[in-house]
Amino acid sequence: MEDLPTRKPRAVTEELRQSVYKDLSPEIEQIRNADLRRKVVDAWCYSLVRSSFKRLSEVPPWGAAGIFFLKQGSQANHLRGVARFAMKMTDDFLENYPEAIVDRDIVVAGALCHDLGKPYEFDPLNQQRWKADPSNCGDPTFRHSVYGVHLALSAGLPEKVAHICIGHSVEGQHFKLSTECTIVRHADHVWWRVAIALGLLERDSIGHAGPLATVRKTRMELEAAD
Ligand SMILES: [Fe+2]
Ligand SMILES: [Fe+2]
């Protein structure tokens, strides 16, 4: 079966660039540095044209392959939510502790790019070949956090953002993290935990949250039960 990283990538079109910008808006506008903002779009285009997904809003809203399935929306909703959480944390600290120093642009760019590797990890063709024979090259060959580093650096993002790609996930417990990565990592983890408690995830996808996780019914579920 075809090896996805060697599959010929589709061309990056202006239409794709505009769709990525739209899918990451309005949060992407919070990145003040125009070059960094452009590279965030470049990186997502770079990721998407090497996958089966035609646009960011087609990438499923999962935490990882097989776990944490949001009931609605796409991966773009998760990225934007994490960016908003990370900005709120950053802004609250900066307002109340003006002596603290945070690179807010790296926080926002890192939050919007932390799951850059998911189109690769969730790609149905990759899932199919990995599941068919994990002894061949693993399952997955690389988790999205690891492959995200490759994508981020290849697309020209600064290493500080690539560091957030790997450091936000379980790999990040094995080495020292930058301040900006610490913020995004916690924003990401809290986002998933709160979404679980609010009943926004498919029940059969939350086992990873542990036996003590509780789930509240949503308004729609309560109305349907009436
Ligand atoms: Fe992730
Ligand atoms: Fe995430």
The answer to whether residue 75 scores a pLDDT higher than 90 is yes
pLDDT, tens digit, 9 for 90 and up, residues 141-186? 999 999 999 999 999 999 999 999 999 999 999 999 999 999 999 9
pTM of the model as a whole: 0.95
Read off the tokens for 187: 């924003």
pLDDT, tens digit, 9 for 90 and up, residues 10-47? 999 999 999 999 999 999 999 999 999 999 999 999 99
The answer to whether residue 3 scores a pLDDT higher than 90 is no
Distance 98 CA to ligand 1 centre (A): 30
Distance 191 CA to ligand 1 centre (A): 11
Q: Which ligand is nearest the CA of 167, by number?
A: 1
Structural domains of the chain in order of their starting residue, each with its CATH number: 4-225 (1.10.3210)
Distance 82 CA to ligand 2 centre (A): 7
Q: Which ligand is nearest the CA of 168, by number?
A: 1
Q: Which ligand is nearest the CA of 117, by number?
A: 1
Distance 202 CA to ligand 2 centre (A): 17
Q: Which ligand is nearest the CA of 170, by number?
A: 1
Q: CB–CB of 93/76 below 8 Å?
A: no
pLDDT of residue 226: 80
Distance 185 CA to ligand 2 centre (A): 8
Read off the tokens for 57: 């809003």
Q: In DSSP terms, which residues pair with 70 in a beta bridge?
A: 201
Helices (H) and strands (E) in the chain, counts: 11, 2
pLDDT of residue 148: 98
pLDDT of residue 225: 86
The answer to whether residue 2 scores a pLDDT higher than 70 is no
**Strands annotated E in 33-161:** 62-64, 67-69
pLDDT of residue 91: 98
- Give the residue with greater pLDDT, 101 vs 5: 101
Average pLDDT, the chain: 95
Distance 166 CA to ligand 2 centre (A): 11
